[in-house]
Amino acid sequence: MRLSLQTDYALRTLMFLASKKKKQRATIADVAGCFHISEAHVAKVVNQLARLGYLRSVRGAGGGIELGREPTEIRVGDVILAFEANMHLLECVATDNVCVIQDHCKLRNVLARAEQLQLEYLREIRLADVIPV
């Protein structure tokens, strides 16, 4: 599995905010500058993270963005699932009748199990576990 840039930026944004001092807000420009990515990309990711409840956007003087949940309550696997449309290694894992050997293929079950193990592992990892020290 290869994560999309949007998912990568979402995880980076959450890590950046989690590494801030308690309740210290940041701006989209802060996040973009730290990772050398465009503010437009960060803004798009921030909007989606806010809709999902992972962060809050505060307007006005002293405003900015902040985590909407504690870092111990955010699971990396859940964030990835929210941003990735398709996490399957091959199309046949999720869709029937896409391959002529599908009825007899044992690889499909192996890959399905690998996907399951990967997702289970990522769901065990909390944002707090990946914050830079």
CATH code for position 94: 1.10.10.10
- DSSP state for residue 126 in the 8-state scheme: B
- CA torsion 93→98→104→110, rounded to 10°? -20
∠ CA 87-65-120, rounded to 5°: 25
pLDDT score, position 77: 95
| Structural domain boundaries enclosing 108 | 5-130
pLDDT score, position 53: 97
Q: Could you give the number of structural domains in the chain?
A: 1
* pLDDT in single tens digits along all 133 residues of the chain: 788 999 999 999 999 999 987 778 999 999 999 999 999 999 999 999 999 999 999 888 888 999 999 999 999 999 999 999 777 777 777 777 777 777 778 887 888 888 889 889 999 999 999 997 7
pLDDT score, position 71: 95
Over residues 48-83, the pLDDT tens digits come to: 999 999 999 988 888 899 999 999 999 999 999 999
CA–CA gap between residue 79 and residue 77 (Å, rounded): 5
